[in-house]
Amino acid sequence: MTILMAIGGAINPKKPTVLEEFARRAGGDSARVVILPQASAMEDTGKYYVDTFHRLGVADAFALEFRQRGEAGMPGQVDALRQATGIFIAGGNQMRLSVLYGGTRLEAELLSAYRRGCLVGGTSAGAAILSKTMICNGKGGPIPREGSVQFCPGLGFTDKFTFDQHFRQRDRLGRLVYAVATHPGILGVGIDEDTAAIVEDEQLITVCGSGAVTLIDGRDISATDVSEIGNKGPVAVSNLKIHILTHDCVYDGTTRETRIPQKTLLVE
């Protein structure tokens, strides 16, 4: 089984439910978690996540600390990735990741680890970089507009989804709709802060955390003028399907159906 865990950023440090789930799926107290902090401009990001995973019961957590492209894929890094049961990519600027990793041995080892069943996850920029085509820049707003999204190559763990983070908090519905309208075969996954979309075998998506995951399915789009609009004008799209899912909800990409757990309202 392959598992991607895309986290929308701003993880609650007092109740890190999404990191607890990452640690559990990586193997719990027997997990070997490798942290990639390069997207962050802060020098202590790697140590922060090492300490956090230790507090969550992971005995073996290790950060690969380097900032130069020529250092990517050194023998010690390769050994660590080959032994990892979980790989966690920190947030920051996703283009730092593509510039440092793209075309290197490190990138090849990351993809190899994922294919052998190592859990791969990331928060914020670390979520965006997971897809083959990532959103690397753009503008917020509820309406899709020409030029509202800039695309860049990601690491390519999946070509079926594109991930957008800080979704509700930064009002990114319009830009994700625009992204899907440009290629209706890709499922848009908008992830709120402190929330994760857990993708199993590129089919099942399970939601974990305090917010929501917004799925934008464009496969039934009947009409759009996205290819004809210029000058940052609004884009028309018809027949989109949108799901808004919360903790423990599941989306099945094969049937395109959702499972929402039954809840009972407690009334005193």
- CATH code at position 244: 3.40.50.880
- The question of whether 193 is a catalytic residue gets the answer yes
Distances (CA, A) of 127 to 7, 48, 107, 111, 162: 6, 18, 15, 15, 9
Q: Given this model, what pLDDT does residue 264 score?
A: 82
Q: Given this model, what pLDDT does residue 35 score?
A: 98
Q: What is the mean pLDDT of residues 128-144?
A: 95
Domain that holds residue 26: 3-254
* Catalytically annotated residue among 98, 107, 193, 243: 193
One-letter identity of residue 249: C
**Is it the case that residue 141 has pLDDT exceeding 90?**
yes
Query: Per the domain annotation, does 204 fall within a domain?
Result: yes
Query: Per the domain annotation, does 264 fall within a domain?
Result: no
**Is it the case that residue 207 has pLDDT exceeding 80?**
yes
Query: Per the domain annotation, does 149 fall within a domain?
Result: yes
Query: Per the domain annotation, does 263 fall within a domain?
Result: no
Please say whether the beta carbons of 46 and 35 come within 8 A.
Answer: yes
Please say whether the beta carbons of 165 and 196 come within 8 A.
Answer: no
Query: Per the domain annotation, does 261 fall within a domain?
Result: no
Rounded distance between C-alpha atoms, residue 155 and residue 265, angstroms? 43
- The question of whether 20 is a catalytic residue gets the answer no
- The question of whether 166 is a catalytic residue gets the answer yes
* Catalytically annotated residue among 40, 124, 131, 148: 124
Cα atoms in the Cβ-side hemisphere of radius 13 Å centred on 126: 27
pLDDT band at residue 29 under the 50/70/90 scheme: very high
Show Cβ contacts of residue 79 under 8 Å, excluding neighbours closer than 6 positions: none
Token pair 């041995």 is found at 105
One-letter identity of residue 38: Q
Q: Which residues pair with 87 in a beta bridge?
A: 34, 120
pLDDT by residue (tens digit) across 157-206?
999 999 999 999 999 999 999 999 999 999 999 999 999 999 999 999 99
Q: What is the mean pLDDT of residues 113-118?
A: 98
Please say whether the beta carbons of 106 and 137 come within 8 A.
Answer: no
Rounded distance between C-alpha atoms, residue 69 and residue 59, angstroms? 29
| CB contact burial 129-138 (16+ within 10 A = b; e otherwise) | bbbebbbbeb
- DSSP summary character for residue 127: H
One-letter identity of residue 155: L
Query: Per the domain annotation, does 174 fall within a domain?
Result: yes
What the block records as the tokens of 48 is: 């922060």
pLDDT by residue (tens digit) across 238-258?
999 999 999 999 999 999 999
* Catalytically annotated residue among 40, 98, 166, 243: 166
One-letter identity of residue 139: K
Number of structural domains the chain divides into = 1
Q: Given this model, what pLDDT does residue 267 score?
A: 76
Query: Per the domain annotation, does 265 fall within a domain?
Result: no
Rounded distance between C-alpha atoms, residue 1 and residue 116, angstroms? 8
When the pLDDT of each residue in the chain is averaged and rounded to a whole number, the result is: 96
List, as own/partner pairs, every contact residues 249-254 make where C-beta atoms lie below 8 angstroms and the sequence separation is at least 24, other chains included.
Answer: 249/206, 249/207, 249/213, 250/204, 250/205, 250/206, 250/207, 251/204, 251/205, 251/215, 252/203, 252/204, 253/160, 253/187, 253/202, 253/203, 253/204, 253/205, 254/203
Query: Per the domain annotation, does 262 fall within a domain?
Result: no
Q: Which residues pair with 63 in a beta bridge?
A: 35
